[in-house]
Chain A
Amino acid sequence: MSKKRILTTSMGDQTLRLLTLLMAVSVLVLMAWMGWQMFDAARPSIQKFGLSFITNRVWDPVKEQFGALPFIYGTLVTSLLALLLAAPIGLGVAIFLNEMAESKFRAVVGFLVEMLAAIPSVVYGLWGIFVLAPWLRETVEPGLAKWLGFIPLFQGTPVGFGMLAGGLILAVMILPTIAAISREVMAAVPNMQREAALALGATKWEMIRVAVLPYAKSGIMGGIMLGLGRALGETMAVTMVIGNRPDILPSLFAPAYSMAAVIANEFTEATYDLYLSALVEIGLILFGITLVLNFFARLLVWSVARGPKGGNVV
C-alpha cells in the first residue's frame, strides 16, 4: 500500500477547497430540497388523480376536476414552434455577423441583437397584445388560412391570441440567446480551420459548411437548448398572448394555455387545498420536463460531437 500523497499543506488552499465545495453542494441541496417541497405540496393531487393527472384534458376547478394535458400541450407546442423559428434565424444571424459582416457593422448589430435579451418579458407581452396579436389576426392568420388552410394547423377563426402568438413571441425572446451563443462558439473556431478549407478552393459558404459549422456544432446545439429551456419556463409574455384557455385544439390560431401561465394566473385564486396542490403538481411536471429535455439534449450534443473514432470531442 502506498502512502497517500500530500496535495497541499497550505491552509489557504484547504480553506478555499472547503469553501467552494460548500458552495457547490449548497446548489445541489437547494435543488433537492425544492424538488422535495414541491412533491410534498403536490401529494394530495398526486394521490387523488395519479397518472390520469397527465392524461386528463379537463381542467375544471369548480367541479374539482384537474387534468394537466392542455397545459403540457400548450407549453410543448409553443416552445417547439419558437425553436423552429428562432434556431435557423439565430444561426443565420450568427453566420452573417461572424463570417460576412464588416467589423464595424458586426459590433453594432451584434450589440443590438444581444439587447433583445435585455428587454423585460412583460414589455414583450405588451408588444404582443398591442402589436403582434392584431397583426396576426388581421394579416398573418387570414393569409395562412388562405394559402395553407388545407393543413389543420392553419384552420379556424383568426383570433390573434393563441399558440401562434405565443410561439412567435417566444421565438423573438430566445433568438438573442441562440444568436449570441452561436456567434461566440463560431468566433472560437480557429482561423486555421477556415484557411484549410479556403486553400482547398472552398467558397465562403463551403468554408462555413466544412470548417466552421462542424467545429462549432456542439456549442450551437448547446445554445439552442438554452433557448428551449428559456421558452419552456417563460411565463409573463406567454400568458399575455396565448389566450389562456385550457383546450387542446389542432389549430395554431386557437387559444391555449401553458404550464407556467396557469400557475401564475390561478395561484392566487386557488381557494382550496386540492386546487393549490394541483397547481404545484403542474410546477413539478414542468420541472421534470425541463430536466428530461435537458438530459436528451445532452445526449444529442454528445452523440453529434463525438465524430469519427479516435478523435477528441470538439
Chain B
Amino acid sequence: MGQTLSVRQLEAWYGSNKTLKGINMEVASNHVTAIIGPSGCGKSTFVRCINRMHETMPGTKVKGEIILDGKSIYDQDPVALRKMVGMVFQKPNPFPSMSIYENVVAGVRLNGMRNKQNLQGIAEKSLRMAALWDEVKDRLNYSGMSLSGGQQQRLCIARALAVEPSVLLMDEPASALDPIATTHIEELVRQLKEDYTILIVTHNMQQAARIADSTAFFLNGELVEHGATSEIFTNPNDKRTEDYITGRFG
C-alpha cells in the first residue's frame, strides 16, 4: 500500500544557492503526482529531499518538515527511510558488475535476505511488476548492461520495487529513452499506483497529462500550483502555470 506524504515549509540549499523556498504540499497515497516546471526550478531537488538523498551531497542544507505515514522523515535513520521510499533515476544505472538477477535482488540482499528460493521469488515478482520478466526470464544471469536503455530502466524500477517501498520517486525516468520505451514506462507507472504512492518528475507536459492524477507546477524554487491534472492543464488558477503549459516559456 502507498502512503501519504505531507511536506511543510521545505527549504533546501546547494551551497549558498537556495533551490527550494518553502514548499507546502500534500501528496495523496496511491496516486501518481507529476512535478513539472522548467529546468532549475527545484523539481529534482524536491524529490531528492523526500528520500534524503539531497543531504548526501556535500555543502547541502535542508529545513522544514516532511511527514511520511504520520512520522517525520528527519526523525528516522536515512538508511531505513530509503527502504520505504524507493527511487528511480534519470539515467538507467544498473550495477555493471552484476547480472540481471543480482541487480534486482541487490537491495533485498542488503537487508539481509539470503534464502535463495525467496530471492528468486522476489526477483520474478519484481520483474513481472516492472513488465520485464518475459523479456529476460531466459537470461537472468546475463549482465544488466546487456539490455537496451528502456529495459535497463525497467530493471532499475524492478530493483527499486524489490525492496517493497511504499513511495516511489521517479526523477525524469523516461528522459533518456526512446518513444517506445517511454510508452512502456508510462504504462508501468499507471499500473504501479495500485500499490505505491508515486511522484514523478518530468519535463514533458504531455507525459504528465497522460499518467498523473495530480500535477504540481514548480517555478524558481516555489510551488506555484498543485491540483488535479485535468484542472491544471485545462483551467489553471495561476497565470504563470498557464504561460508554462501553453509553451510561452520553459
Interface residues of chain A, those whose CB is within 8 Å of chain B, are 103, 190, 192-193, 195-203, 206, 210-211, 214-215, 217, 307-312, 314
Is the CB–CB distance between B145 and A311 below 8 Å?
A: yes
B220 within 8 Å of A (CB atoms): no
Is the CB–CB distance between A210 and B142 below 8 Å?
A: no
Is the CB–CB distance between B97 and A198 below 8 Å?
A: no
Is the CB–CB distance between B95 and A196 below 8 Å?
A: yes
The interface residues of chain B lying within 8 Å CB-to-CB of A202 are 79, 107, 110
Residue in contact with A309 in the complex, picked from B56, B97, B143, B160, CB distance below 8 Å: B143
| Complexed CA–CA distance, A67 and B102 (Å) | 52
| Complexed CA–CA distance, A273 and B97 (Å) | 55
The interface residues of chain A lying within 8 Å CB-to-CB of B53 are 195, 198-199
SS class of chain B's interface: helix, strand, loop or mixed?
mixed
Which of B7-15, B85-93, B118-126, B207-215 is near enough to bind chain A?
B85-93
The interface residues of chain B lying within 8 Å CB-to-CB of A308 are 97-99, 102, 141-144
The interface residues of chain B lying within 8 Å CB-to-CB of A198 are 53, 56, 82
Contact with A along B134-149 (1 / 0, CB 8 A): 0000010111111000
| Complexed CA–CA distance, A193 and B103 (Å) | 12
Contact with A along B67-106 (1 / 0, CB 8 A): 0000000000001101100110101011111110010001
Q: Could you say which interface size class chain B belongs to?
A: 35 or more
Is the CB–CB distance between A201 and B110 below 8 Å?
A: yes
Is the CB–CB distance between B110 and A210 below 8 Å?
A: yes
Is the CB–CB distance between A312 and B89 below 8 Å?
A: no
Residue in contact with B95 in the complex, picked from A103, A206, A214, A217, CB distance below 8 Å: A214
The interface residues of chain B lying within 8 Å CB-to-CB of A217 are 97
B29 within 8 Å of A (CB atoms): no
The interface residues of chain B lying within 8 Å CB-to-CB of A192 are 89, 91, 93
A199-B86, A309-B99, A310-B145 given; name 11 further pairs at CB < 8 Å.
A190-B93, A196-B95, A198-B56, A199-B51, A199-B53, A200-B106, A202-B110, A210-B110, A215-B97, A308-B144, A311-B97
Is the CB–CB distance between B80 and A201 below 8 Å?
A: yes
Residue in contact with A307 in the complex, picked from B58, B96, B110, B159, CB distance below 8 Å: B96
